[in-house]
Amino acid sequence: MNSAIILVDHGSRLPESNALLDEVALALTRRFPDRFTIVEPAHMDIAEPSIATAYNRCIARGASHLIICPYFLGPGKHWTSDIPRLAAAAQVHHPGTTYHVTATLGLDDLMLDLLAKRIGE
């Protein structure tokens, strides 16, 4: 099964904010080239690409299983309701594909390290 990653954030009217998710997707691919060969960004609202667009791009690149990773700190309506609904709607157009929505970033020792780093800057 060829898997792909869709990183999902909220989306913004600020182009630099949306561009950051593009950079994260590219950095993930570069850092883990053997694990993540197909990584696409997606935004919940306001900006493209949408989850449907990213899903289509992943399928066009040869994926059959999509791992949808919310780029959110904590669980909320987007994670519990919106992302699963939008992913299911995208899957309808690609019979035979599967998807899984991961947990949000949440609390992790690495997040604490990052917070300490930012505080120290």
Catalytic residues: 10
Q: SS3 sequence, 8-43?
A: EECCCCCHHHHHHHHHHHHHHHHHCCCCCCCEEEEE
Distance CA 87, CA 39 (A): 15
> Is 104 in contact with 75 (CB distance < 8 Å)?
yes
